[in-house]
Amino acid sequence: MNTKKIVITGGPGTGKSSIINELISRDYTCFEEVSRQVTLEARQNGVEQLFLTEPLLFSELLLKARTQQYIDTTTTKKEIVFLDRGLPDVLAYMDYAKSDYPQHFTDVCNTHSYDKVFVLAPWQEIFVSDSERYENFDQAVEIHHSLLDTYQRFGYELIDVPFDSIANRATFILDHLKL
């Protein structure tokens, strides 16, 4: 079976994880965001914000984890899976931070493609900073533009998810996929 890989992306605090959780509650297979796990593991090793102190190492760890998620989608026996962020997100954040990255970052994005990409725009009313999310709203807007640029650079047609309730946003995505 050729599993369809659907990415839900957007800057920090746009509702991605809430939509993923809603899709899980509707019995869809979803791969959750890995950056919080990488951040928490770094904190256990005494590094408060790995992306800020060692952006390349943080991004290498994310790239590895997201590549594994991509591979894991191919072993599911599901028609469709949802991913909270995709591989191009790693490059978008590096571009946002104006950090260089090795060629293999681009290569992995070229060799691992997604079927659809849904984008959540920055939404001031729901944006909240927390211990893993250090960005403010203005930075979230900049990251959003970097995400758009990066996904478009890899040839993706981006589908904007409208501001609405979590349930309605999930339904919008499913309706767009005709599920």
Q: What's the total number of domains in the chain? A: 1
Domain with 62 in it: 4-177
Q: Does 45 score more than 90 pLDDT? A: no
Rounded to an integer, the average pLDDT of 8-30 is 94
Q: What pLDDT, on a 0 to 100 scale, did the predictor assign at position 127?
A: 67
User: Is residue 42 pLDDT above 70, yes or no?
Assistant: no
- Could you tell me the CA-to-CA distances from 133 to 6, 36, 72, 95 in Å, in that order? 24, 9, 26, 18
CATH of the domain at 167: 3.40.50.300
Say yes or no to pLDDT of 83 above 70: yes
Q: Are 101 and 140 in contact (CB under 8 A)?
A: no
What are the pLDDT digits (tens) for 51-70?
666 778 788 888 999 999 99
